[in-house]
């Protein structure tokens, strides 16, 4: 059965407004959507054709902004066609997997759609990946063609002979700059090359510049029309998943298009012509699916930011008058500390959406108050995994409780299941959150065993994605995520949930951010240690010991049993983050172990962060 197909039991229960106590049958989130939203078929189109079909009537609208340059849909479609011709000239064929290592730039967007148009597949990887990782990613998919950021040159040249690469196209953030800005940047790049801060690239038969690549396609006359093929891979993005092993997630055209179709019905004012600040990296699902395909398909005016500096997030929001922005909690933490942002009228803040990491309840209260008191709307939250095209839920203007991650998208079903028995939990009962629907991945590339651990057929005949997250579904359809299952620590026979501890600590006004990590303990199994960052005005005052005592008193006065009390509270200047902006608890744990002389083997990683 199709994962978004409605059974007779589900239909009858809906018509009778009968609740069975099982979210997978009741679909409580449907009460917030029109019936057409969950009955509509996902369009049978390539992502490119779907995007073009939605925007052919708006050729003069601006689709991309890049350092002052405006690109309309008319020019955008022309650039995609030029890129497709150049790809054909380069020897790229249908079903080829082309590896892409880049940042937010118009070229990345052209390339994403040109490859899809010809039924080739972009394999999106982090440009900060080390040589050993690059070689692994290239050889895993047998890429013959690589599009890479110029800064990657020194990482690629040592390993190129150990791969099947035939051509490498070098991308520069300067390629689409307005002429005047481009000339100034070229002078700076020349100086940086002299200082050794920018690689001096030797172009030859293998290494080509983007402009040379495009010129090579001008002689291409015949461009074959690649047909739509059901359930074929549209792009590959990478994740560590629940096991920590790097895996390529295959997302289909249907996955990408279903995301856009479902977001058409959410009550968050994501309408055409909205100004969208795109700070999402394109090599993760959040960036490829939402930052590129959703934004372009829905007709948003996207400002592309190639390199995100968290300290400048507020400045970017104001400068570009952003109405829509998707970001991790740390970005908004930084924005609230910005003086200009504090004094600004935020009436343009229509849909600021936070995702990618947990937003602690106290922080959500503060952020809501901050935005609303300045004319904006409350923060929206989303939840998802790379394996379900990045987003499975979103909160809205009509239902948005503190602590929830919103309601499932119309065609998505989420429910909690018992880890041991597999039995579905009822409303308010916690278990592993599982997801089914048309955005769930095709699978992990060439890893059927890993795929089978994540995608499992349940008794209802549907394929469910096992998230590895612990949480529950409320009777009004809202989803609450409490912890990653792997972060739940056994302590003296009890389960300790990091989010419970973090919520108590974060309520103190002097705490800017915090993370709780389970540390091995001979006496207790694992002991929860809190790493905290102070608000700037409380730093360097020598008050840390007093604050520790005050936080411990808060635990003693709370309803929590003593196994939830932190073993220790350590203050840091900052917390390490991953490449997608999440707090990196693995690094925190490793740092603690090393600082205390507990030596363990470091995890094997292929990229920074």
> Could you read off the pLDDT of 398-457 as tens digits, one per residue?
999 999 999 999 999 999 999 989 999 999 999 999 999 999 999 999 999 999 999 999
Q: What is the CA radius of gyration of the chain?
A: 24
> Which of 176, 199, 233 delimits the end of a domain?
233
Q: What share of the chain is helix, strand, coil (3-state, %, to 5)?
A: 35, 20, 40
Average pLDDT, the chain: 91
Give the three-class secondary structure for 466. strand
In this structure, what CATH number is given to the domain that contains residue 204? 3.40.50.12780
Rounded to 5°, the CA angle 577-569-595 comes to 65
Tokens of 565: 């009390």
Tokens of 291: 């930052």
Total Cβ atoms within 10 A of residue 302 = 27
Does residue 602 surpass a pLDDT of 70? no
Instruction: Report yes or no: 473 and 414 within 8 Å, Cβ to Cβ.
Output: yes
Sheet containing 324-327: give its strands across: 69-72, 62-66, 301-304, 275-278, 324-327, 351-354, 380-383, 393-394, 407-408
Most distant pair of Cα atoms in the chain: their distance:
76
Total Cβ atoms within 10 A of residue 522 = 6
Q: What is the pLDDT of residue 607?
A: 34
Does residue 240 surpass a pLDDT of 70? no
> Which of 233, 253, 270 delimits the end of a domain?
233
Q: What is the pLDDT of residue 231?
A: 96
- Confidence band, pLDDT 50/70/90 cuts, at residue 605: very low
Rounded mean pLDDT of 170-191?
85
Q: What is the pLDDT of residue 12?
A: 57
Does residue 1 surpass a pLDDT of 90? no
Instruction: Report yes or no: 100 and 92 within 8 Å, Cβ to Cβ.
Output: no
Q: Residue 212 belongs to what domain range?
A: 74-233
Does residue 192 surpass a pLDDT of 80? no
Alpha-carbon torsion 162, 168, 174, 176, what sign?
negative
Rounded mean pLDDT of 456-461?
95
Q: Are strands 167-171 and 207-209 parallel, antiparallel or unpaired?
A: parallel
- Confidence band, pLDDT 50/70/90 cuts, at residue 599: very low
- Confidence band, pLDDT 50/70/90 cuts, at residue 574: very high
Does residue 156 surpass a pLDDT of 90? yes
Total Cβ atoms within 10 A of residue 449 = 7
Does residue 15 surpass a pLDDT of 60? no
* Residue 514 DSSP code: E
Among the residue ranges 181-195, 355-369, 404-418, the one predicted with the least confidence is 181-195
Question: Has residue 148 been placed in a domain?
Answer: yes
- The C-alpha atoms of residue 55 and residue 165 are separated, in whole angstroms, by 36
Question: Has residue 517 been placed in a domain?
Answer: yes
- Helices 106-117, 73-90: axis angle to 10 degrees equals 60
Name the domain count of the chain.
2
Q: Where are the beta strands (DSSP E) in 109-166?
A: 121-124, 145-149
Does residue 603 surpass a pLDDT of 80? no
- Confidence band, pLDDT 50/70/90 cuts, at residue 608: very low
- What is the SS3 string spanning 208-273? EEHHHHHHHCCCCCCCCCCCCCCCCEEEEEEECCCCCCCEEEEEEHHHHHHHHHHHCCCCCCCCCC
Does residue 293 surpass a pLDDT of 90? yes
Question: Has residue 150 been placed in a domain?
Answer: yes
Give the three-class secondary structure for 77. helix
- The C-alpha atoms of residue 502 and residue 566 are separated, in whole angstroms, by 10
- Confidence band, pLDDT 50/70/90 cuts, at residue 115: very high
Does residue 489 surpass a pLDDT of 70? yes
Q: What is the pLDDT of residue 198?
A: 79
Tokens of 392: 């499975």
Question: Has residue 119 been placed in a domain?
Answer: yes
Which residues are bridge partners to 433 per DSSP?
A: 416
> Which of 233, 257, 280 delimits the end of a domain?
233
Digit-coded pLDDT (tens) for 56-100? 999 999 999 999 999 999 999 999 999 999 999 999 999 999 999
Does residue 114 surpass a pLDDT of 80? yes
- The C-alpha atoms of residue 412 and residue 3 are separated, in whole angstroms, by 9
Closest CA to 418 of 369, 501, 485, 323: 485
Question: Has residue 300 been placed in a domain?
Answer: no
Question: Has residue 129 been placed in a domain?
Answer: yes
For the chain, the first-to-last Cα distance in angstroms comes to 40
Does residue 241 surpass a pLDDT of 90? no
264 CB-near residues (< 8 Å, 6+ apart): 37, 298
Rounded mean pLDDT of 223-229?
94
Global confidence as pTM: 0.84
Question: Has residue 464 been placed in a domain?
Answer: no
Question: Has residue 39 been placed in a domain?
Answer: no
Q: What is the pLDDT of residue 14?
A: 57
Among the residue ranges 133-142, 408-417, 544-553, 597-606, the one predicted with the least confidence is 597-606
String of b and e for 332-364 (b: at least 16 CB within 10 Å)? bbbbbebeebeebebebbbbbbbbbbbbbbbbb
In this structure, what CATH number is given to the domain that contains residue 557? 3.30.300.30
Instruction: Report yes or no: 428 and 474 within 8 Å, Cβ to Cβ.
Output: yes
Q: Where are the beta strands (DSSP E) in 427-581?
A: 431-436, 443-444, 455-457, 463-473, 479-484, 489-491, 494-496, 511-521, 525-534, 568-571
Rounded mean pLDDT of 326-340?
92
Which residues are bridge partners to 147 per DSSP?
A: 100, 169
Rounded to 5°, the CA angle 76-81-84 comes to 125
For tokens 């066609």, the residue is 81
Phi, psi values for residue 372, rounded to 5°: -65, -40
Phi, psi values for residue 325, rounded to 5°: -150, 135
- The C-alpha atoms of residue 122 and residue 143 are separated, in whole angstroms, by 10
Q: What is the pLDDT of residue 17?
A: 61
* Residue 450 DSSP code: H
Rounded mean pLDDT of 10-35?
82
């Amino acid at each position: 059965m199709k994962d978004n197909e409605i059974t007779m039991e589900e239909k009858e229960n809906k018509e009778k407004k009968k609740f069975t106590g099982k979210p997978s049958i009741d679909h409580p989130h449907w009460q917030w959507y029109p019936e057409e939203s969950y009955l509509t078929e996902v369009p049978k189109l390539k992502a490119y054709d779907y995007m073009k079909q939605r925007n052919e009537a708006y050729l003069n609208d601006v689709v991309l902004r890049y350092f002052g340059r405006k690109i309309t849909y008319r020019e955008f479609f022309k650039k995609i066609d030029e890129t497709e011709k150049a790809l054909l000239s380069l020897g790229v064929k249908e079903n080829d997997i082309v590896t892409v290592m880049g940042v937010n730039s118009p070229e990345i967007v052209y390339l994403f759609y040109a490859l899809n148009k010809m039924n080739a597949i972009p394999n999106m990887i982090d440009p900060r990946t080390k040589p050993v990782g690059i070689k692994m990613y290239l050889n895993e998919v047998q890429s013959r063609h690589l599009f890479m950021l110029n800064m990657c040159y020194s990482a690629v040249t040592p390993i190129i002979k150990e791969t099947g690469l035939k051509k490498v196209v070098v991308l520069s953030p300067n390629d689409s700059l307005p002429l005047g800005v481009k000339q100034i940047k070229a002078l700076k790049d020349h100086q940086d090359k002299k200082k050794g801060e920018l690689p001096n690239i030797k172009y030859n038969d293998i290494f080509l510049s983007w402009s040379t690549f495009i010129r090579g396609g001008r002689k291409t006359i015949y461009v074959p029309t690649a047909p739509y093929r059901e359930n074929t891979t549209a792009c590959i993005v990478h994740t560590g998943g629940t096991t920590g092993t790097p895996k390529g997630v295959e997302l289909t055209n249907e996955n990408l298009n279903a995301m856009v179709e479902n977001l058409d019905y959410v009550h968050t004012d994501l309408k055409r012509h909205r100004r969208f600040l795109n700070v999402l990296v394109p090599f993760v699902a959040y960036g490829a699916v939402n930052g590129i395909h959703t934004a372009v398909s829905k007709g948003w005016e996207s400002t592309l930011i190639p390199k995100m500096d968290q300290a400048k997030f507020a400045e970017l929001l104001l400068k570009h008058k952003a109405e829509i922005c998707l970001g991790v909690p740390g970005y908004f933490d930084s924005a609230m500390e910005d003086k200009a942002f504090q004094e600004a009228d935020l009436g343009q803040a229509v849909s600021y959406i936070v995702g990618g990491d947990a937003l602690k309840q106290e922080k959500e209260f503060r952020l809501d108050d901050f935005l609303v008191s300045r004319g904006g709307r409350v923060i929206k939250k989303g939840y998802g995994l790379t394996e379900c095209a990045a987003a499975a839920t979103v909160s809205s203007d009509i239902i948005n409780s503190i602590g929830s991650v919103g309601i499932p998208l119309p065609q998505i079903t989420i429910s909690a299941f018992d880890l041991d028995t597999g039995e579905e939990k009822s409303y308010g009962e916690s278990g592993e959150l599982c997801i089914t629907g048309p955005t769930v991945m095709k699978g992990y590339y060439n890893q059927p065993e890993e795929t089978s651990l994540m995608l499992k057929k349940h008794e209802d005949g549907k394929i469910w994605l096992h998230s590895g997250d612990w949480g529950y579904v409320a009777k009004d359809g809202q989803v609450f995520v409490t912890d990653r299952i792997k972060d739940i620590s056994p302590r003296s026979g009890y389960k300790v949930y990091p989010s419970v501890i973090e919520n108590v600590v974060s309520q103190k006004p002097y705490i800017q951010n915090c993370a709780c990590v389970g540390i091995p303990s001979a006496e207790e199994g694992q002991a929860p240690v809190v790493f905290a960052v102070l608000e700037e005005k409380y730093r360097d005052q020598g008050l840390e010991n007093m604050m520790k005592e005050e936080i411990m008193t808060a635990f003693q006065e709370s309803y929590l049993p003593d196994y939830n009390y932190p073993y220790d509270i350590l203050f840091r200047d900052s917390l390490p983050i991953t490449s997608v902006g999440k707090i990196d608890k693995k690094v925190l744990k490793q740092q603690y172990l090393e600082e205390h002389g507990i030596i363990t083997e470091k995890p094997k990683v292929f990229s920074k962060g």
